[in-house]
Amino acid sequence: MLEFNVKASDINGRVRQKKFVALNRLELLRQLSSQNLTAISIEVLSKKNKVSKKTPAVKLTLLQVLRFTKQLRTLLKAGIPVVQGLTILSKQSEEPGYSSLIESLIITINDGKPLSIALSDYPKLFPSFYINCVRVGEKSGKLEDALQYVHDYMSEEAGLKKKVRKAIRYPLIVMVAILGAFIVFTTLVIPNFIPIFEMSGSELPMPTVVLIALSDLVLNYGVWILCAVIALVAGIIIMKRYPSGQYWWDSFWIKFPVIGKLIQKINVSKFTKIYLTLNKSGIAAKEAFDILQSTIENRVIQSELKHVIASIRQGNGVAKSLAQSDYFSGFVIEMLTIGEQSGSLDDMLESINEQYDNDIEDSLEKLIGSIEPVTTVIIGLMVAFLALAMFLPLWDTMNLVG
C-alpha cells in the first residue's frame, strides 16, 4: 500500500490537504471521487506493507503500446481469456521490454487482481483514462470494446502529433541553418576582412560597421551568450517542474498570436477524443471529468476543467458547465447540448472530433504556408545584408585606388 499526501479542492472550491492510503494512484482517484474531491497535487510519502512483487522498469514506445492493445483486443474478441491471451503475446514477442511487461501483468493477475490494477503499475505507459476504460470494460463484460476505443483514440493522437512535428520540422531546420551560418561568418570570415577594411582609411558603411560590431560581440562574449542561453533553457525546464511555472508557460503559449489558437484547438480536440472514449466505455460524467483533468497535460485547460467539474457536481449538464470556459467554442457547446438533449452524445462528440481534426489540419497547412515565405524573406535579407557589408567597403577602396 502507498501513503499519499493530497492537496484537493471540494465542490465549493475550498482547498484541503489530507493523507490517504491506497494501493495505487487509480484507487486514490476513486477515493477522492467518492468524497467529491478534485486532486490539485499528489505526493507519494511512503510504502506501507510493502508487496512482495517488485514492478520491473519497462520502457516501450507508443507504437508498442498500440500493438499490445490491438493484439490483446483481437485475442479477447476471439474468446480467449485475459491470462491466456497475455501468455500468447509473451511467447510471440522477441523484445525483452515487451515480454517483461506482459510477464509482470500475468503475475499480478494470477495474484487475483484485475487487468486494470495490473496496468496501473505502469502509469507512464498506460495513462489514467486507459486504465479507467479497462476497469469499466471489465465490469461491463466488454473489455475488448474498451480496448478498441482506447486504441482508436491513441492512434488518432499519434497521427496528430506526427502532423505537428512535421509542421515545425522545416522552420526549425531553416532557423538552425541560418544561425549556424551567421556564427561561422562572424567568427571565421569577418575577422579576416577587417584589416582590409581598415587599410582603406575611409569611413566604413553602416552595414559593415554593424557586421563588425556583431563579430566582436560573438568573438568577445560568445561564451557568455552561450552560457546565458543554457541558463535560460535550464531555468525554463526547472520552472516547468512546478505547477505554477508550468501554468505560466502553457498560458503564455495558448495566448500567443496564431500559434495559440492552434494549441487551443489541439487541446480541445484531445479533450473531446478522451471524453468520447470514456463515454463509450460507460464512465459517468463526474468520473470522466476527473480522469480528463488528470490526463490533459495543458495546465490552463486543467484549470478550466476544475471549474467545470465543480459545476457538474452541483447538478449542471456538461454543455452548460463547459460554456463557462473561454476555451470551448460555441460550436462545441451547441453540439454537446444537442447530444445531451437527444441522447446522442457519442455521435455529437464524433462530429466535433471530425470538425476539429479538419480545422487542425487546415491550420497546420496555413502555418507551414506562411512560414515558408517568411523564412525565404529572412534568408534573402540576411544575404543582402552580408553582401552589402562585404562589398560596399571593397567598392569604396577600388574607387580610391582608381
CATH class of 164-402: mainly alpha
| Alpha carbon distance 20, 41 (integer Å) | 13
Extract the residue ranges of the chain whose pLDDT is less than 50.
Answer: 49-53
pLDDT digits (tens, 9 = 90+) for 58-73: 778 888 899 999 999 9
Question: The pTM is what?
Answer: 0.69
3-state secondary structure of 104: helix
- Please tell me the distance from the alpha carbon of residue 145 to that of residue 362, in angstroms, as a whole number: 32
Closest CA to 64 of 36, 37, 91, 94: 94
Give the domain ranges of the chain: 2-47, 62-154, 164-402
Hey, do 62-154 and 164-402 end up sharing a CATH topology, with the first three levels equal? yes
Q: What is the pLDDT of residues 320-336, one digit of tens each?
A: 999 988 889 899 999 99
Which residues, including other chains, have CB under 8 Å from residue 50's CB and lie 6 or more apart? none
What gap in Å lies between CA 226 and CA 224, rounded to an integer? Answer: 5
pLDDT, tens digit, 9 for 90 and up, residues 363-391: 888 877 787 788 888 888 888 888 888 88
Q: Give the three-class secondary structure for 78.
A: coil
Which of the four CATH numbers 3.40.50.2000, 1.20.81.30, 3.90.700.10, 3.30.70.270 does domain 62-154 have?
Answer: 1.20.81.30
Q: How far apart, in whole angstroms, are the C-alpha atoms of residue 352 and residue 402?
A: 73
Q: Compute CA distances 217 → 80, 190, 204, 212, 221, whole Å.
A: 70, 12, 18, 9, 5
